[in-house]
Amino acid sequence: MRKPLIVGNWKMNNTLQESLSLIEGLISNRLSVDRDFVVCPPYTVLSLAGKLLKETKIQLGAQNMHFEEKGAYTGEVSALMLKELDVSYVIIGHSERRKFFGETDLQISKKIFTALNNELLPIMCVGESLAQREGDYHHRIIKKQLVEGLKLVDSSRASDVTVAYEPVWAIGTGKTATSEQANDMLGFIRTILINLYGESMAENIRILYGGSVNSSNVDELMIQPEIDGVLVGGASLKSDEFLKIMTYSDRG
């Protein structure tokens, strides 16, 4: 049985003081031991967040990293730097990184390889655009992203990777895939992972859904058999809303 994982991606939001208030609102509440929780603040907040989250149920994640451990890469952050700040997870290949910064499947593969080598747990994002889905070649896109992005991941390390399916057309738009659409795609992703790593290993890989997740749709999403958790964007920026997501079904 895969343990559910709830991840909050704050993106380029929250000053230090705003982050402090948000984190204090999250850690002041009792959280289930049957789930894993991660928050991914901006780089400027990671040091403070790491101190506040120490010895709590919530783990610290970063939103990106470079595939080299050091060098002349102005503006970039390395896995070694993240480890010093008690970062456990790192988001890799988010659609906004692919779209706005031109990240390729090869770069994403290298980042995942470096993350694993530095004992960071990568959350690899895949997803299709609206045109790709309406053109009925979204499965081909997702398969390519998975196969190319995981090409440097040995089967012995595959279960340390989390895959997050985020349909690009549902990120920050207020639209969301139906729970059935999300479940079907995650099932397809699981099939690809089985082909890559074998059934026993693939069954240990957590697959998340992301794309306008909120407290109103999280329960319906999380009852789907293939959905192991959610990657939350805007709804993770308010402690009350994110707590409702973190405590899905407990509220019923």
Say yes or no to pLDDT of 168 above 90: no
The pLDDT value given to residue 171:
74
pLDDT score of 134: 85
Q: Is residue 251 part of a domain?
A: no
Q: Decide which of 172 and 110 is more confident.
A: 110
The predicted pLDDT at position 250 comes to 64
pLDDT confidence of residue 249: 85
Confirm whether 231 is domain-assigned.
Answer: yes
- In the structure, what pLDDT confidence band is assigned to residue 252 with cuts at 50, 70 and 90? very low
Tell whether 126 is covered by a domain: yes
Binned at pLDDT 50, 70 and 90, residue 116 comes out as very high
Mean of all residue pLDDT scores within the chain: 94
How many domains is the chain built from? 1
Domain ranges, residue 154: 5-246
Q: Model confidence over 211-226: pLDDT tens digits?
A: 889 999 999 999 999 9
Cα–Cα distance, 113 to 66 (Å, whole number):
11
Nearest to 38 by CA among 84, 5, 86: 5
pLDDT at 203: 96
Judge whether 155 and 141 are in contact, CB under 8 Å. no
For 37-94, the pLDDT digits (tens) are 999 999 999 999 999 999 999 999 999 999 999 999 999 999 999 999 999 999 999 9
Mean pLDDT of 6-13: 98
Name the E strands within the chain.
5-9, 36-40, 58-62, 89-92, 121-126, 162-165, 207-210, 229-232
Catalytic residue among 96, 103, 128, 166: 166
Tell me whether residue 213 is in a domain. yes
CATH number at residue 214: 3.20.20.70
Catalytic site residue from 76, 84, 94, 119: 94
Judged against a pLDDT cut of 60, whether residue 30 lies above it is answered with yes
- Answer yes or no: are the C-beta atoms of 105 and 152 closer than 8 Å: no
Is there a catalytic annotation at residue 166? yes
